[in-house]
Amino acid sequence: MDTDELAAHFDRERLRLRSVAYRIVGSLADADDAVQETWIRLQRADTDEIDNLDGWLHTVTARICLNILRSRRTRAEEPLDLRPEPIVATDPHADPEAEVLLADAVGMALQVVLDSLPPADRVAFVLHDMFGVPFGDIADLLDRTPDATRQLASRARRRVGTGAPTPDPDLAAQRAVVDAYFAAARDGDLDALVAVLDPDVVLRAHGRRETLELRGAQKVARGAMLARAYAPFVRPALVNGAAGAIAFDDGAPFAILAFTVVGGRAVGIDIFNDRELVPRLVR
């Protein structure tokens, strides 16, 4: 395969590699770095010795992502660098690449759970459960036996099952819940807010240095009432492929709100309110 053919093949696979990398590292910037490093390594490789080029690309990307995760932990970086970053779009149709990425994204609640997993568990789960990579291939990547790798994925699967409910698939229905939430906040209607929240709803506010949690419909609704002054200044957005919103202050975006809607009620709300991070993510 000559250089032009190799570049064309890589370009066809690039968005999928970016999706794999994002699910593992939880940051588009780091995902882009991982994909770029994969391309550099591909240029240096003897492609005549590669039997399955797509498999090679996915394995190399995953190995780079694993190194990124391990590096984060050994450097003990600030929480700013350890939390997941949402994929946000107000008009994904205006950016075909963003549209593809959003369509392939996982919900924010799942991305938050993935971000809490140990690196090896996270890689095993993402590659096997989300992309169908055989355990034998993942075992080679992680320097584990296939049985040990299967256990890593199983442990991650249990964490995901308890911490990341599957959202309702109907985007319009999700949007109706989100709109009702902000309408109730604007009106100062506590009862209406509680009505669109699951009794066990969890709100996470991912700030620059820590994540704060509120649990239960009453507490979350009261928190929304305290922030009701911003309710008139929110705009609808897609956040990791689900209905969400962007809050503005004096015309500048300052918060991203991701909703997880199950059974017609919000079971999770993730708020990203770092004023340096948000403008970088909102396009």
pLDDT (tens digit per residue) in 178-223: 999 999 999 999 999 999 999 999 999 987 778 889 999 999 999 9
Sole residue written with tokens 């000559």? 2
pLDDT value at residue 207 = 79
List phi, psi (to 5°) of 268.
-150, 140
* Residue 17 φ/ψ region, left for φ over 0, alpha for ψ in the -120 to 50 degree band, beta for the rest: alpha
pLDDT value at residue 102 = 75
pLDDT value at residue 176 = 97
For residue 211, give the 3-state DSSP assignment: strand
pTM, to two decimals: 0.85
* pLDDT (average), residues 120-144: 94
Query: Distance between CA atoms of 39 and 62, rounded to whole angstroms?
Result: 13
pLDDT value at residue 92 = 67
Query: Distance between CA atoms of 221 and 190, rounded to whole angstroms?
Result: 6
What is the tens place of the pLDDT at every residue in 139-181? 999 999 999 999 999 999 999 988 888 899 999 999 999 999 9
What is the tens place of the pLDDT at every residue in 225-238? 998 888 889 999 99
For residue 84, give the 3-state DSSP assignment: coil
What the chain holds in terms of domains, given with CATH numbers, is 3-163 (1.20.140), 171-281 (3.10.450.50)
Residue 224 reports pLDDT greater than 90: yes
What is the tens place of the pLDDT at every residue in 259-276? 999 999 999 999 999 888
* pLDDT (average), residues 84-108: 77
